[in-house]
Amino acid sequence: MKLVCGGWRRFLWCLPLLFIVSHLLSGGLRPDLSIEEVPKKGKNKFDRLVLGPATGQGLPNRLHCQGVKALNRTRYSSSRPRAEARERTTFVTVFTIYNGSLDVRGSGGSSDRVVVGRSSYNRVERSMAILTVFFNFIQVTMPQSDVVILTDPASDLSVTREGVFVHPIEGEYSRDKLMLQRIRSYIAFLDEEQRNVSPDQIHNYIFTDSDIAVVDDLNSVFRDFQDFHLALTFRNNKNQPLNSGFIAVRGTPEGINRARMFLKEVLEAYISRYSSASRMLGDQLALAWVVKFHASFDLKRFTKPQAFVEKVGGASVLFLPCAVYNWTPPEGAGQFHGMPLDVKVVHFKGSRKRLMLESWNYYNSSGSMADMLCLILGSGRTKYDF
């Protein structure tokens, strides 16, 4: 509650500085704003892009912007190193959709439709649109990667796209069990992969939420840091230092095995300690519990956004700063120092899903990843209706 109020106050504080981006974006990207009535949504949730101030200006190694124009030349526009052929990255995400049960409220009803750019979406279409944009970014920044979608065999999910594979795994995918099931599905997937490890081709894995944009090549994680089995992202947050939305696993037999054992421990901690936690938080709390239980390092290391490797139980765990590998503007009153120039993953948590689609549309029409990051930097603290 405290966080929400803090955020709201800050929001009011920023209000005079807010302005609507459509006036800024010339070139017919959003020719006309049709302001929809969105029934029963919080008053402060916007149905169009709204920009606040871009923070971090004047700080070194932060992205500097003028409106939605990037002032720094970043690597995104230049040519990127090709992934070594022996190592590939497979993204793995859990996603389900049910055309009857997911949304009795409005999978078809026009009252629940939301317009982004020139498209209109019902609830199911919104989830699919997010998944599609997730693929789109990966295809741009890591074109040699595959995506595996772990899903309920009963789900009606069908995706026909090159490099994307739907992989049903039995389980209980109801909304309130989804975070628990997600860990189970990860483990089941790694169990299968362990039997198929090939000595000629290493498939590294990155398990992620689907509401992320990969904005730079992540193969570098496996190249630049040699000695880890799995990687987690951390932030300076005492109670929730780890985010479960990004887990990288080295695709060697040892890496897969250590990651399986680690995740099994997280699953046990979740069941025994956090079953009653909110459906969103249980896995993060369990993850933090396992790390704190085994770790022999000073937890103060989580306060500095610098990568480090430490043993956790038998596993070598690479801790990566959320600031670069899982960037999201802090909610509420958290201090906000802009966006690092080397950001690689943007996470559109909570009420930022509209921004994810708008960002893709903007990138798609402008061709500039850096400008798109300015759009996200300016708009990331706005709450959207979708």
Ligand X SMILES: *[C@@H]1O[C@H](CO)[C@@H](O)[C@H](O)[C@H]1NC(C)=O
- 249 within 8 A of 258, measured Cβ to Cβ: no
Nearer to ligand X by Cβ, of 156 and 268: the residue is 156
CA distances from 26 to 36, 42, 362, 365 (A): 22, 29, 11, 11
CA-CA distance, 269 to 261, in Å (whole number)? 13
Closest C-alpha among 225, 232, 227, 235 to residue 248: 232
Closest distance between ligand X and the C-beta of residue 60, in Å? 6
Nearer to ligand X by Cβ, of 72 and 226: the residue is 72
CB neighbour burial string for 238-253, b if at least 16 within 10 angstroms, e if fewer = eeebbbbbbbbbbbee
364 binds ligand X (CB under 6 A): yes
Closest distance between ligand X and the C-beta of residue 174, in Å? 15
Binding mask 153-182 for ligand X (x = CB under 6 A): ---x--------------------------
User: Quick one: how far is CA 152 from the chain centroid?
Assistant: 21
Nearer to ligand X by Cβ, of 54 and 256: the residue is 54
59 binds ligand X (CB under 6 A): no
- Owner of token pair 């250590």: 258
72 binds ligand X (CB under 6 A): yes
Stretch that binds ligand X, among 64-72, 230-238, 247-255, 282-290 (CB under 6 A): 64-72
Instruction: Indicate the helix (H) or strand (E) that contains 18.
Output: none
Query: Going by C-beta distance under 8 Å and a sequence separation of 6 or more, which residues neighbour residue 230?
Result: 247, 248, 249, 250, 255, 258, 259, 262, 315, 317, 318
CA-CA distance, 8 to 333, in Å (whole number)? 9
66 binds ligand X (CB under 6 A): no
Nearer to ligand X by Cβ, of 350 and 367: the residue is 367
Nearer to ligand X by Cβ, of 69 and 264: the residue is 69
Binding mask 333-362 for ligand X (x = CB under 6 A): --------x---------------------
CA-CA distance, 211 to 214, in Å (whole number)? 10
Nearer to ligand X by Cβ, of 47 and 152: the residue is 152
Among 44, 61, 77, 306, binds ligand X (CB under 6 A): 61
Residues that bind ligand X (CB under 6 A): 61, 64, 71-72, 99-100, 140, 156, 341, 364, 367
